[in-house]
Amino acid sequence: RTLRNTTPVPRLIQRILPAIMSSPNPQDQASAKRSRAQSPETDIQQKAPSVDGATAKRAKNEDEEEQEQHLFMRESDVGITQFVTAGWGGFDAIIKHRFSDFFVNEIDPSGNVVRLTSYYDAVDPTPPMSEEQKEIASLNVPENKALAFDAAFVKLAEILGEEDSARIRQLLESEDDEQRSFLLDRELDKGQRKSVYGITNNFLPTQVKCETVDGKLEFIRRSANNRSNSGQGGAPQRRDGRGQQWPHDGDHCYFVMQKENHDTMDVLFQIARCLRSTTRSFGMAGTKDKRGITVQRCSAYRIDHKRLIGASRNLKGARLGNFSYGPRELKLGDLSGNRFEIILRHVKGADEQSLGPVLEGIRRTGFINYYGMQRFGTQSISSHSVGIAVLKADWKAATELILKPRPGDRKEVRKARQVWSEQKDARAALALMPQKAALA
């Protein structure tokens, strides 16, 4: 986890390749083989008598049991040894035996439990207008740019007078590259300057740039490539990622994501791929466990809910709904908590009587959020071990931990790790490693 949240592991391996010892010399390997062949210990092992079937089976079971003990980290391996309730010894159970045994609902900042209840409707309320938006609305900017061009000078004449308004218009309609600006010969008060800026920014956004020079306004004609007296829209148009006009009041489309046995980022990647967008367009209040059924809020920047509905039909292990619009992106921490429903299976060492004091303690004093193995990883090689090696700048050990074969690897990853195991060639192993493999 330490590596996954900082430097992508493949890039890390590329950075530390120079620090890794090269592959063993073939002559050294041959010498080692000769030494083993001449070793009395080896001779004894080769001449050892065969054992009966029962003894062999017992030895095999012991080996498998020892191997199983090292497949997964335990709480005691990372220093978690005590219970909050004094005298309580805990009990054994299987958690997340099925992914449906673990159900998580996000709780929004208002304390509402997030649920997926609607798949097609969208709430698009009109938010209260800011003072700036009210001022822009009061200008009544025409949609047609040619009409907006004419209306701008009527409004400028009310502030600057007919003569200066006409000179600004003449400047903008001129093709003379030597005369591209007009400096007002008098100072205006702050309120007048603000009104002039409002007119030029909303009626003439592509034709003129207005600046204040020593208290006086200077009007600068923009380049011909940015000028056009015809077309649609006098005010700047809000558009989505495909260049189409954005029709909603809020720039962000909020939606509820319910997923099953998938990472949050994996689902967002699926959505982005369906929409030909990037995951940078999405925000979320928090990440959720992969193995479980989880419900959470997400946001998408200027992606219409109808497009998200279409993407939802093609998602694997996820569904989207409860669409609405708002002004800001959801960021990590925009929630007040999570609500869990957990099923424990194959419970041993606990009954209603023994659990009584523990439940009473929870009712009386509450409980500390469980700080457990999800912080260290539950694979045979824990992520914190890799992190410690990196902090110590022990690149050889870090690479060995990252690339060492481990149970459960998919075929492509297993093949790449096998190259490292046999050849100790990190570059060759990295070349075979899938791009999106979670290595640590």
Instruction: Check residue 270 and give its pLDDT.
Output: 94
* HSE-up (13 A, CA, CB side) for residue 303: 25
What single letter denotes the amino acid at residue 320? L
Closest CA to 399 of 103, 14, 6: 14
SS3 376: coil
d(CA 394, CA 417): 19
What is the rounded CA–CA span in Å between residue 299 and residue 323? 9
Per-residue pLDDT at 314:
92
DSSP state of 98: S
**Among all chains, which residue has been given the structure tokens 């939802």?**
312
Decide if 228 contacts 216 (C-beta within 8 A): no
**By CB neighbour count within 10 A (0-12 exposed, 13-18 middle, 19+ buried), where does 390 fall?**
buried
**Which contiguous run of DSSP H or E holds residue 345?**
strand 344-348
pLDDT (0 to 100) of residue 86: 75
pLDDT averaged over 10-residue windows placed end to end, the chain, 440 residues: 39 46 45 44 40 56 49 73 79 88 94 91 61 72 85 91 90 83 88 87 87 86 59 47 70 94 93 92 92 95 92 93 91 92 91 85 75 66 85 92 83 89 89 75
Angle at 60 (CA atoms; ends 55, 66), nearest 5 degrees: 130
CA pair distance 160, 216, nearest whole angstrom? 12
Whether the Cβ atoms of residue 424 and residue 21 lie closer than 8 Å to each other: yes
pLDDT at 47: 40
**What is the Cα–Cα distance from 326 to 255, expressed in whole angstroms?**
11
